[in-house]
């Protein structure tokens, strides 16, 4: 059975085609070996869009890569372009498009529909209710899902919401100190996100550590970052709250921020509430701190050259990670491993070193020689460290594909 996993942006469509036949639940399921193709369509809605596909098992038995430019006015056309590439008579990996059993979406916020569901009108309505909380994510997903339902009515769509993994967090750790009716009636609570990534890390860390009862902290660090405390495979605390804007500073999103500062900003600048929120959501985070640099690689380079703003941005980012790390250590009571994942977590030895600096008293000892230049899966701790420090590349698409199959079976 084939699942096409989709990751949408307002003007982009990234996908991975996975062969989910056979046993996909075992520790030896080998998700990498199941990837038939992956690709992306960028600049959707512009006169010429960039389409890329990499077929790992073409009809000719060879890897095939193609980049083309063509008009792609909407996500429905993007999916059609993807299917056309995958069913190419020579270079594709499918004979017919109907070999795809479903499209699984790494959906963000469903509010009252926290879980994995075959997309119907109720799912779309629940997503729309949360559009104000995830304005950069929900509207493009809703629009794309509606288009695809019209264009491919026989092809099931599955929404795997990022909040589901955090459903196991206790009320004491997910409830804000606000009037109780706001929580009950408007679902204002700490939902948490990056669920597919943290779930994958929970599963992979259990394999690496050789135990199902491990207590770990998963640090998903990238353009969007969050930490999650995981006990025996379940989320018990996470850094993001009601929206993906909160927690650790993001590349251009503010992270945790005192809401009562907003009226002062409005008064001093004369800006509307909408404008201030837009600025916090697009010009905050690392970009705001560093003077315009949103990519951590640029910030690290500038900091090395003595740029004070870049140094501050790097310091604020790592200190916020450490703040959440400390709280999660207390919540877990014991720590077996710290796991770094995501674009920054997997590739930035500078951030990893800064996060672990001075934690030897807690039994966390980073081996600088292992950390320097570490890329891909590996361990960074010293032989005497009581806590393992791991780098584990995440695979969110694998989790979405597995959850999509379960949703289809349940239906």
Q: Is residue 9 part of a domain?
A: yes
- In the structure, what pLDDT confidence band is assigned to residue 151 with cuts at 50, 70 and 90? confident
Beta bridge partners of 18: 3, 35
Residue 116 lies in a domain: yes
Q: What is the DSSP string of 250-280?
A: -SSS--S--GGGHHHHHHHH---HHHHHHHH
Per-residue tokens: 36? 């038939």
pLDDT computed for residue 30 by the predictor: 67
User: Would you say 103 is a known binding-site residue?
Assistant: no
Give Cα separations from 51 to 42, 102, 225 (angstroms): 7, 21, 28
How confident is the model over 265-290, as a mean pLDDT?
96
13 pLDDT above the threshold of 90:
no
Q: Is 16 annotated as a binding residue?
A: no
Domain-embedded: residue 170: no
**228 and 134, same domain (yes or no):** no
Q: Say what the pLDDT of residue 132 is.
A: 93
CB-CB neighbours of 41 under 10 Å: 25
Domain shared by 120 and 244, yes or no: no
Phi/psi at 337 (5° precision): -160, 145
The answer to the question of residue 302 being in a domain is yes
Whether 179 has a pLDDT exceeding 70, the answer reads yes
Amino acid 32: pLDDT: 78
Mean pLDDT of the chain: 94
Which of 161, 192, 227 lies at the terminal end of a domain, its last residue? 161
- Of all residues in the chain, the percent with pLDDT exceeding 70 is 98
pLDDT of residue 74: 87
In the prediction, which pLDDT does 75 show?
A: 85
| Same structural domain, 31 and 95 | yes
pLDDT value, residue 361? 97
197-240 pLDDT tens trace: 999 999 999 999 999 999 999 999 999 999 999 999 999 999 99
- Say if residue 27's pLDDT is above 60: no
Q: Are residues 25 and 105 in the same domain?
A: yes
Is the pLDDT reported for residue 28 higher than 80? no
Residue 268 annotated as binding site: no
Confidence band, pLDDT 50/70/90 cuts, at residue 80: confident
**Per mean pLDDT, which range of 46-60, 166-180, 375-389 is the poorest?**
46-60
Q: Is 46 annotated as a binding residue?
A: no
Check residues 7 and 367 and name the one with the higher pLDDT.
Answer: 367
d(CA 277, CA 283): 10
What pLDDT score does 129 carry? 96
Same domain (yes/no): 146, 229: no
296 belongs to an annotated ligand binding site: yes
Q: Is 344 annotated as a binding residue?
A: yes
Question: How many structural domains compose the chain?
Answer: 2
End of a domain among 127, 161, 195? 161
Please determine, for residue 150, whether its predicted confidence score (pLDDT) is greater than 60: yes
Evaluate whether 88 touches 119 at the Cβ level (below 8 Å): no
Residues 116-147 pLDDT 10s: 999 999 999 999 999 999 988 899 899 889 98
Q: What is the model's pLDDT at position 174?
A: 97
Please indicate if the annotation marks 347 as binding a ligand: yes
Task: Indicate whether 157 and 216 sit together in one domain.
Answer: no
Q: Are residues 238 and 307 in the same domain?
A: yes
The CA distance from 123 to 145, in Å, is 10
Question: 57 or 71, which is more confident?
Answer: 71
Give the tens place of pLDDT for each residue, 294-351.
999 999 999 999 999 999 999 999 999 999 999 999 999 999 999 999 999 999 999 9
Q: Does residue 79 carry a pLDDT above 60?
A: yes
Residue 27, domain member (yes or no): yes
Measured CA to CA, the distance from residue 140 to residue 145 in angstroms comes to: 8
Range 82-88 average pLDDT = 90
Could you tell me if residue 40 is inside a domain?
yes
Query: Within a domain: residue 179?
Result: no
- What is the reported pLDDT for 309? 98
- If asked whether residues 273 and 385 sit together in one domain, one would say yes
Instruction: Kindly report the pTM of this predicted structure.
Output: 0.93
Q: Which of 194, 156, 182, 174 is nearest to 343 (CA)?
A: 194
In terms of C-beta distances under 8 Å and separation of at least 24 residues, what long-range contacts does 88-92 make, across chains too?
89/59, 90/58, 90/59, 90/60, 91/55, 91/58, 91/59, 91/60, 91/64, 91/66, 92/55, 92/58, 92/59
- Which domain does 144 fall in, by range? 2-161
Residue-level pLDDT at 9: 76
The CATH code of the domain that includes 9 is 3.30.420.40
Please check whether residues 136 and 248 belong to one and the same domain.
no
Confidence of residue 152 (pLDDT cuts 50, 70, 90): confident
pLDDT of 29 over the 70 cut? no
Confirm if 389 and 379 have CB atoms less than 8 A apart.
yes
What pLDDT was estimated at residue 3? Answer: 96
On whether residue 61 sits in a domain, the answer given is yes
Determine the pLDDT at residue 397: 94
Do 249 and 380 share a domain, yes or no? yes
């Amino acid at each position: 059975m084939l699942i096409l996993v989709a990751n949408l942006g307002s003007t982009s469509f990234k996908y991975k085609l996975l062969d989910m036949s056979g046993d996909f639940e075992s520790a030896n399921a080998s998700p990498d070996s199941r990837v038939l193709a992956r690709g992306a369509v960028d600049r959707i809605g512009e006169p010429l869009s960039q389409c890329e596909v990499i077929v790992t098992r073409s009809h000719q038995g060879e890897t095939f890569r193609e980049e083309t430019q063509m008009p792609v006015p909407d996500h429905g056309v993007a999916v059609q372009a993807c299917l056309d590439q995958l069913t190419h008579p020579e270079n594709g990996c499918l004979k017919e498009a109907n070999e795809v059993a479903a499209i699984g979406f790494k959906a963000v916020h469903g509010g009252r529909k926290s879980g994995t569901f075959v997309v119907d009108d109720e799912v779309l309505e629940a997503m729309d209710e949360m559009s104000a909380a995830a304005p950069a994510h929900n509207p493009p997903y809703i629009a794309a899902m509606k288009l695809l339902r019209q264009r491919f009515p026989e092809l099931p769509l599955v929404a795997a919401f990022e909040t589901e993994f955090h459903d196991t967090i206790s009320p004491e750790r997910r409830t804000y100190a606000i009037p109780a009716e706001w929580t009950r009636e408007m679902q204002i609570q700490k939902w948490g996100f990056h669920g597919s990534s943290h779930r994958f890390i929970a599963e992979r860390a259990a394999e690496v550590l050789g135990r199902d009862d491990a207590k770990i902290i998963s640090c998903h660090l990238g353009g969007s970052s969050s930490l999650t405390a995981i006990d025996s495979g379940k989320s018990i605390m996470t850094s993001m709250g009601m929206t993906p804007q909160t927690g650790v500073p993001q590349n251009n999103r503010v992270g945790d921020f005192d809401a009562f500062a907003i009226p002062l900003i409005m008064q001093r600048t004369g800006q509307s509430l909408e404008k201030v929120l837009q600025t916090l959501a697009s010009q905050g985070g690392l970009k705001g701190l560093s003077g315009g640099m949103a990519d951590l690689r640029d910030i690290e380079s500038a900091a090395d050259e003595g740029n004070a703003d870049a140094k501050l941005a790097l310091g604020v980012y790592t200190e916020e990670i450490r703040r959440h790390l400390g709280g999660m250590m207390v919540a877990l009571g014991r720590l077996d491993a710290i796991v770094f994942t995501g674009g920054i977590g997997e590739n930035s030895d500078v951030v990893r070193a800064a996060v672990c600096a001075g934690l030897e008293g807690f039994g966390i000892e980073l081996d600088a020689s292992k950390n320097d230049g570490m890329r891909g899966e590996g361990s960074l701790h010293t032989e005497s460290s009581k806590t393992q420090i791991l780098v584990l590349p995440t695979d969110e698409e694998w989790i979405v594909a597995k959850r999509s199959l379960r949703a289809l079976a349940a239906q």
